[in-house]
Structure 1
Amino acid sequence: MQSVDMFGKRVGFVKFKADVVDEKTGAKLPGVVFGRGGAVAVLMLLECAGEKHVVLTEQARVPVGRVILELPAGMLDDDAGDFVGTAAREIEEETGIHIKTSDLIDLTALLDKETGQKMFPSPGGSDEEITLLLYRGHINPEALSALQGQEQGLVEHGELIKVHVAPYRKLWRYTADAKALAAIAIYEMATKEGILPELSSL
């Protein structure tokens, strides 16, 4: 064990080194691990005047030294492993939008079971596994405009978040967020195969 970062009374991040050997070859495998556990992210698509828009959060990210536009997301911080409940809570905290958990669709559940049905953004160094969810709804132009530039987040948790709304068709070029890019890929392929349910309403 090399280091532990606490989030209040809870263990947040853990860095450790494991000795792992391949049984067939005897070769030692890279075993430095940054442990941060499960997380959830939501592709929020809002239809307005015949066009799909996506809700993003703007946050300064110290490790990469830049501001990043991302999907609303957060770490799984309850003992029950409630990814959907965590997602609904994160959406409200980061965007101010209250949604029902029943309106969320698990995109990663559409992957083959052999994948673990999670997205692993950096499996060479971290155990982080992300559940990608989809929310789709309708919104009027006034409400859509009001979202743009809203300041959200829990200041006591160091969250300084600004809400951005962008046309979905531009998202793949608009963000460097791996969560967003992975969600686009799954959403587009699932749409192409016709396996997503009908739109809900906001």
Structure 2
Amino acid sequence: MATFQLKCPDIPVKLPDGLSEERLLAFSPFNNWLKTLNHSLSLQRSSAAHPFHSDPYALRSITIQSFDLFGAQQQQQRLGFLKLVAEVSNGAGEKLPGSVFLRGPSVAMLVMLIPDDVAPSPVGQHREGEEDRYVVLTVQPRIPAASLAFVELPAGMVDDDGSFAGAAAREIREELGLEIPAAELRCLSDMAAEGMVADDKNGGSGDGDDEGLPAAMYPSAGGCDEHIPIYMHERRVPRAQLAEWTGKLTGLRDDGEKITLKLVRMRDLWREGGRDAKCLAALALWEGLRREGKL
């Protein structure tokens, strides 16, 4: 196992066989995680109100345990997933859990379809008996969840050179067959974050706003860096088209995807998508923003 030193701060990094320093440092999820962690650690010293101010924690070392490469052609393969252990401890020798799975950000899409013969509801107002709002879910194999038919919101990973909105528009096109310009998507996560004001009076309280975390949902913050901003799109379609879409087979066959669409009523989304954290988060954001009159 090879070792090299990161600079500013000086941290030893151990590498497994087959992973070079250059490839690791070109992996944006690693760089983003390290930058954000170092910023969060710096808040301990800069604010006397920080709970760890008297005995701050520090990053002592990083051990890369394993990695996965993406891409069929060996010469075009790129780093995809990374498993590491970060040693973070304070002066008293107390350690924080540091097992980390790095995969980078994803996007999720709440796509709502309404028959075009239904009268629109005023912005910010609920219409009793709103029965004709449907949400598009996908049903597909998810081997990590030991499932061949996992029900979830459409979602996808973000490429290093892509925007979140652009990635969301691409996933909608690939999984749902809908052409939606990125500019027509609305980010529920950003809209919710607009109502949160960071507390600047104490110079950094150590919460997510002070730490510069993205406005996104973290499905498993205890072990993974993945964060998912949630976008929405609402479209009016002919009523007959809703029936045609149910059970439609879609997906990227070259990538091994086998996706079936499932349309559910908005009122049933909490139950139909109850296993999917993205789905429950999207529903909570949508309902909260509606209550505040922002949708």
User: Which residue does the alignment assign to 2:106?
Assistant: 39
- The structure carrying a bigger strand percent of its residues is 1
Q: Aligned match of 1:28 in 71, 76, 95?
A: 95
- Measure how far apart 1:116 and its partner are: 2.9
1:92-171 → structure 2 map (5 Å cutoff): 92-109=173-190, 110-111=192-193, 112=196, 114=209, 116-171=214-269
- For normalisation by structure 2, the TM-score amounts to 0.63
Q: Equivalents in 2 of 1:22, 1:139: separation in Å?
A: 58
Cα-to-partner distance string for 1:95-121 (whole Å, 9 max, x where unaligned)? 111112122111111223616311111
In 2, the alpha carbon distance for the partners of 1:93 and 1:73 equals 10
Q: Which of the numbers 82, 90, 115 marks the counterpart of 1:14?
A: 82
Q: Deviations over 1:124-173 (max 9, x none)?
A: 00000111001111111122112111111112212110111111110001
Taking only the aligned residue pairs, the percentage that are identical comes to: 43
Between the aligned partners of 1:128 and 1:22, the Cα distance in structure 2 is 26
RMSD over equivalenced CA pairs, Å: 1.5
Aligned mates of 1:10, 1:84 — CA distance in 2:
23
The amino acid of 1:17's aligned partner reads V
Partner of 1:195: 294
Return the offset for 1:192. Answer: 0.6
1:69 aligns with 2:151: yes
For residue 282 of structure 2, what is the aligned residue in structure 1?
Answer: 183
2:140 aligns with 59
Unmatched 5+ stretches in structure 2: 1-63, 72-76, 119-131, 199-208
Distance in 2, matches of 1:78 and 1:151, equals 29
Q: Partner of 1:88 in structure 2? A: 169
Cross-structure match for 1:199: none
Helix, strand or coil: the match of 1:185?
Answer: helix
Distance between the aligned counterparts of 1:35 and 1:27, measured in 2?
Answer: 24
Moved over 3 A (4+): none
Give, in whole Å, the separation in 2 of the partners of 1:38 and 1:116: 10
* Cα deviation, residue 22, structure 1: 3.9
Counterpart for residue 200 of structure 1: none
User: 1:16-40: CA deviations, max 9, x gaps?
Assistant: 11111146x5411111111110100
Inter-partner Cα distance in structure 1 for 2:270 and 2:257: 25
Distance 1:172 1:53 in 2: 13
Deviation at 1:184, TM superposition (A): 0.3
- Output the CA distance in 2 between the equivalents of 1:26 and 1:106: 42
Paired letter, 1:44: V
Which piece of structure 1 moves more, 96-105 or 121-130? 96-105
C-alpha distance in structure 1 between counterparts of 2:160 and 2:263, whole Å: 29
